[in-house]
Each structure stands twice: as structure tokens, then as C-alpha cells.
Homo-oligomer: A and B are copies of this chain.
Amino acid sequence: MTRHALDVSDDGRILTLSGSEGPLRFHAVWLRDNAQDEETRAPGNGQRLIALRDIPEDTRIEAAEQADDTLRLTFAPEGKTIAFDTGWLARHAYDRADDRAPGWTAPVVETWDSALMNAAPTGDFGEVSADPAARRDWLAQIARLGFARLTGGPVEDGALFKVVDLFGHVRETNYGRKFEVRTEVNPTNLAYTGLGLQAHTDNPYRDPVPTVQVLYCLESSAAGGENMVVDGFAVAQRLRDENPEWFDVLSRHCARFEYAGGDGVCLRSRRPMIELAPDGELIGVRFNNRSAAAITDVPFDDMPTYYAAYRRMGEIIDDPAMEVTFRLDPGEAFVVNNTRVLHARKGYSGSGTRWLQGCYADMDGLRSTLAVLEAGR
């Protein structure tokens, strides 16, 4: 049990809880809105049963008392007494200084560079399928590092769907539920050639972009065609550290992306290459030379700086010090957070074949599955 000192001030509009965490202030209306009683929140599914319109505008605290870890607050003018858990309050406190520089990342995120090469996150298909703890650990790597490999899977058409079944749902697109990555005679997309591809995020011309990509290998006897991944968050932060103005210009202005293959598709988006939440959290990177359309949303005077930043971002992406390379054998796959990690492949040609199947899914489903597995730990 933690003992907190209580103080109600500003005519009942502010509660101050003083404990080991230091004084934490809460507003009466926030407290009332976040009540967990059965009339406010549905017991089964936790959904809020009332709206803010049901809470009086001049809500004040007229009584506060503490017993063990429970705080009982009486709100006027409702005359309603509601119990709060002091631990919950401390975990949800918003009374703190925020001096984070733009480009900060969520606590779960761990950025990386080529030093990760010998410790690239990997799971075994059989273990991850059968053992919830192994699945949890594999998904946690994707949440933390933005990618993971999977080995030991079946070599069969559609096996990649078994990977998606581990955490979520396929995002079907104009490419189908899955697409074949192998050399085609009349390719609608350069991915379907033997060309090397610069590290990129997929489908930036889509909005929302698919936030997960799975690439699954079925044949790989051709020379070349190795896969590489680069942490786009590490790239963006390195750019920021080298030149804050370059980071700023790429996050403050929208790029444009377009894909209009010969198959009745015309997808266009207008989004920044470095995407920040309004409070500066780094939440997405888009980079794809093939589908970059004309950039028309940067003011004339900023365009030289924008192009210098865009060029430098590409150089950092191409820097071998940033990349992790691996070769997929049949039955092996990798999963990337497509809003963060860029992927590339080296060119291939000559005898032998290279056949991958790809599909899209979403990080929210993956994070949900991970959260449920972690809660059950």
C-alpha cells in the first residue's frame, strides 16, 4: 500500500496526489470522465457508456478520501461518489514536463543499424505456431525492431497466409490477397523483374499504407537476390542529428507518391517522407524512388533544402553501416513494419529461379495479439 497525500484546490477543480512519484495534479473533469464504475464503463467490454455531454461542465470534487489504494471522490453537481485506484492514476498521470525533441519514438521502439547483423531477430515457424511464449517473443521483436525473420516454414503455395494467421489479417489490395515476386515478361511493377531495388517502403502511394509486409520464399536457386532491411527510424534520427533543418523540412512538407500500372489502378497519396505525430513522435517513414511523384507541396524557397535533405536521407539509407542483409531460403520469410523498416533486394539474373510470395497485413492486429499474449504471461 502506498500512502498518498491528498489536496483539493481551485474550488474543487484540481486534485493533487502526492506520493513517491512526486505531486501529480488531475483535473476534476478528467477524473470524472475516466471513472471506471459500472455506470460509466460497461463491465464486460470496458466501453464507455456515457459521453462527455453527460458530465456537467462545472464538475468539481466536493469530497476526497483514501483507504488503502483506493481513492473515493465525490463529484458535484452530480453528487456521485466514484472509486479510483491510485496505481491506475499514477500510471495515467499527465502532469509532467515534456521536453522531448521532435523525432522521439515510443518506449517499445529500439533502433538499430548493421551491428544487428549477427543478432537479427528470428523465429522458428513450428515453435512460433505451437508455443504462445515463442510467438509472444517473436512478435515482441517485430514491435521493438520493426522486423523479424521466420525459418522452417512449409514450402507450399500460400504458406505466407500461415504467417499472417500468427498475428492478424491479410490486407487485400489491387495486387490481390497475395502477389508473386518473380521475373515477369511484361511487368506491371519493377518488383517483378530481376532489377536490384533500392531500399524502400512498400506502397507509399496507398493511404493508409499497409503497415505490415510479409515476404515468403518458395524458390531461391538464382545467384543474387539477397534481401536487406534498414531501420527507417534510425535513418530519420541520424538525419536529424546531422542536420535538424533537413529532418524538419522532410517532416513539415508532404511528398507525393503515385502508382498507375497498366491494370486499371491509379493510386495517389500526399504524405511526408518523415511522419510525426503532432507532438513530434516519429511514427512513419515513406521512401520509394520508383513511385515518388512530382513534389509540388514544398514552397519554392524551401525546395533546395528539401532536395538536399531528400538526397541525404537516400545516402543514409544506402550506407552499408545501416543495413542488415540476409538470404531467404525456401520456407523462410521475413515480416517488416512497413511504416518503419525499409527493405531492398539485390539484383539477380542468369540461371536458377527466385520466387517469393508477398502479402500485406497491419501492425495494429499484430500489436493486439502481442498485448493479449503479454497479458496472459
Chain A residues within 8 Å of B, Cβ to Cβ: 25, 27, 29-30, 33-34, 42, 44-53, 57, 92-96, 98, 169-174, 186-190, 198, 206-209, 211, 251-254, 258-262, 264-272, 276-279, 281, 289-292, 294-300, 303-304, 307, 310-311, 314-315, 318, 362-365, 367-368, 371-372, 375
Contacts and interface: CB of A to CB of B under 8 A. Distances in A.
A300 B25 contact: yes
Contacts of A209: 208
A52 B92 CA distance: 45
A208 B252 contact: no
Given A51-B314, A278-B276, A297-B94, A266 B172 contact: no
A240 B253 CA distance: 22
A310 B52 contact: yes
Given A30-B295, A188-B45, A251 B266 contact: no
Of the listed residues A51, A95, A289, the one surrounded by the most CB atoms of chain B closer than 10 A to its CB is A51
A29 B307 contact: yes
B169 A169 contact: no
Contacts of A270: 277, 281
A289 B94 contact: no
Contacts of A303: 27, 30, 94
Given A52-B310, A264-B372, A290-B47, A279 B297 contact: yes
Nearest to A50: B289
Contact of A190 (B47, B57, B372, B375): B47
Given A364-B269, A368-B174, A94 B296 contact: yes
A307 B278 CA distance: 18
A53 B314 contact: yes
27 contacts: A25-B300, A27-B304, A27-B307, A30-B294, A30-B303, A45-B187, A45-B188, A45-B260, A45-B261, A46-B259, A47-B190, A48-B291, A52-B307, A53-B314, A94-B295, A94-B298, A169-B172, A169-B173, A171-B172, A174-B368, A206-B364, A208-B209, A208-B364, A252-B279, A267-B368, A268-B367, A279-B297
Contacts of A365: 173-174
Contact of A92 (B29, B251, B290, B296): B296
Contacts of A254: 277-279, 281
Nearest to A264: B372
Nearest to A189: B45
A355 B291 CA distance: 43
Contacts of A25: 300
A289 B208 contact: no
Contacts of A207: 211, 363-364
Contact of A94 (B49, B299, B310, B311): B299
Nearest to A307: B29
Contacts of A269: 364
A48 B289 contact: yes
Given A27-B303, A93-B296, A362-B208, A44 B318 contact: no
A261 B172 CA distance: 25
A298 B98 CA distance: 10
Nearest to A88: B294
Contacts of A315: 53
B314 A368 contact: no
B278 A311 contact: no
